[in-house]
Structure formats: C-alpha cells, structure tokens
C-alpha cells in the first residue's frame, strides 16, 4: 500500500513518519515551495501528551534532534514581524496543566 499525505506541516510529517514506521509507503506533498513561502511564525506549542505522540512517530535516530529543538512553554513568547523585529509579546505560555513544550517549526521540517 502507498499513501499520499497532503501538507508538510507538523501533522503531515508526523503522519508520514508513523506510516513509514508501520511499513506503509508514504509520499508527502506540499504546495508551498519553501518554508519561507509564507510567514506563519516559527514555533508551535504542544502538550506533553502531544509531544510524546510526536516522539513515538519518529524513528529513534531523530530523537536527539527533536530534543534539541524544544523549549519550555513557560518562557516569554515574543511577537516578531517577517524581518524578526520585535513588535510585541504574549507573555508566558500555559496549557491546561501549566506545562507545555515549544517546538521550532524549522527543526521539525528538518527531521521528517
């Protein structure tokens, strides 16, 4: 079986890795020509459960890279313009449990 995944965001790449880990061939298609094609910010916040689900879909050889691109969501979150000039801040991030994990979008695309 071969599956086509539309979208190379975190969800699409994670799905493709999970399928490949289960022995199913997966091709990923993305409309944007590069990660810089449109400004979306560069970090995502995941709950600890979401982070562990992502880790579970990745081959173990990518775990050190995943660990290198995460941070604590309790840190201040800056709002930047496309040229990375500071235009505001959101303050510390919180999830329902007070815990969260921030993942660098650029790093996510590197490993998947």
Whether the pLDDT of residue 45 is over 80: the answer is no
Phi, psi angle pair for 23, to nearest 5°: 85, 15
pLDDT of 83 > 90? The answer is no
pLDDT (average), residues 97-112: 56
Contact call for residues 69 and 104 (beta carbons, < 8 A): yes
Separation of alpha carbons 104 and 78, rounded Å = 14
* Number of structural domains in the chain: 1
What value does the mean pLDDT take over residues 26-47? 77
Question: Per-residue pLDDT tens for 51-77?
Answer: 898 889 888 998 888 888 787 655 566
Range of the domain at 27: 2-111
- Checking if the pLDDT of 111 tops 60, the result is no
């Amino acid at each position: 079986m071969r599956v086509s995944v539309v979208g190379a965001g975190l969800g699409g790449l994670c799905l493709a890795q999970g399928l490949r880990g289960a022995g199913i061939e997966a091709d990923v298609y993305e409309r944007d020509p590069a990660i810089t094609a449109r400004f979306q910010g560069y970090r995502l916040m995941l709950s600890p459960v979401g982070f562990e689900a992502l880790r579970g879909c990745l081959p173990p050889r990518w775990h050190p890279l995943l660990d290198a691109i995460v941070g604590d969501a309790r840190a201040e979150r800056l709002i930047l313009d496309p040229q990375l000039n500071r235009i505001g801040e959101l303050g510390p991030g919180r999830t329902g449990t007070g815990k969260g994990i921030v993942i660098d979008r650029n790093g996510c695309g590197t490993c998947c």
